[in-house]
């Protein structure tokens, strides 16, 4: 429940709209939930993982797009990402992800790691990106209950 509430809060409390593109870095417990919540909320769920090995799983979880990033120097994804959820404990290669963000949009690190969450200042300031953290198991947002969203699922 902690992971579900954490991911749901990010999407619910920070203004995610059905027209948004939600990026998910990492396909693991939080990533699985982020893909499903974003998709069921009507958003484009755009998934990023190091290899192609998890593409079938991501698509089964209702991802709209999947990108393997390990050997990439640049990501070509079309429209920018409105909300990026970092669902991995590894530091993302920000040279790949900052350029694909839509202007004035947000990066959320809902994962737990002992490492510092490090990002380069220059590119963040250039595209005006705020970054918001969300504690594990935080209270559920304005709708009051994760079940509201889950009940509509198959």
User: What's the pLDDT at 77?
Assistant: 92
pLDDT higher than threshold 50 for residue 86: yes
56 band by pLDDT with thresholds 50, 70 and 90: very high
User: What's the pLDDT at 150?
Assistant: 38
User: Cα(35)–Cα(124) distance, rounded to whole angstroms?
Assistant: 25
User: What's the pLDDT at 121?
Assistant: 66
Mean pLDDT of 103-109: 81
* Phi/psi-derived region of residue 65, left when phi > 0, alpha when psi is between -120 and 50, beta in every other case: beta
Q: Which residues pair with residue 48 across a beta bridge?
A: 25, 67
144 band by pLDDT with thresholds 50, 70 and 90: very low
Strands, sheet with 44-49, edge to edge from the N-terminal-most edge strand: 65-68, 44-49, 21-25, 81-86, 101-108
CA 6 to chain centre: 12
Coil, strand or helix at 107: strand
Query: The tokens 């939930």 sit on which residue?
Result: 33
14 band by pLDDT with thresholds 50, 70 and 90: confident
User: What's the pLDDT at 130?
Assistant: 54
Structure-model confidence comparison of residues 36 and 113, the more confident one = 36
**How confident is the prediction for the chain on average, in pLDDT?**
79
Structure-model confidence comparison of residues 118 and 93, the more confident one = 93
Q: Which domains does the chain have, with CATH numbers?
A: 2-139 (3.40.50.720)
pLDDT higher than threshold 80 for residue 151: no
User: Cα(35)–Cα(82) distance, rounded to whole angstroms?
Assistant: 14
148 band by pLDDT with thresholds 50, 70 and 90: very low
């Amino acid at each position: 429940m902690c992971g579900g509430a954490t991911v749901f809060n990010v999407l619910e409390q920070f203004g995610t709209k059905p027209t948004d593109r939600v990026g998910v870095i990492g396909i693991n417990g939080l990533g699985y939930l982020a893909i499903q919540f974003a998709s069921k909320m009507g958003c484009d769920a755009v998934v990023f993982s190091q290899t192609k090995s998890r593409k079938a799983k991501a698509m089964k979880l209702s991802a709209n797009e999947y990108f393997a990033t390990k050997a990439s120097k640049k990501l070509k994804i079309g429209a920018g990402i409105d909300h990026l959820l970092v669902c991995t404990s590894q530091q993302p290669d920000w040279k790949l992800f900052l350029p694909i963000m839509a202007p004035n949009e947000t990066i959320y690190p809902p994962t737990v790691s002992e490492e510092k969450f490090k990002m380069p200042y220059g590119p963040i300031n250039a595209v005006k990106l705020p970054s918001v953290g969300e504690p594990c198991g935080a209270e559920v947002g304005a709708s009051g209950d994760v079940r509201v969203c889950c009940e509509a699922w198959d």
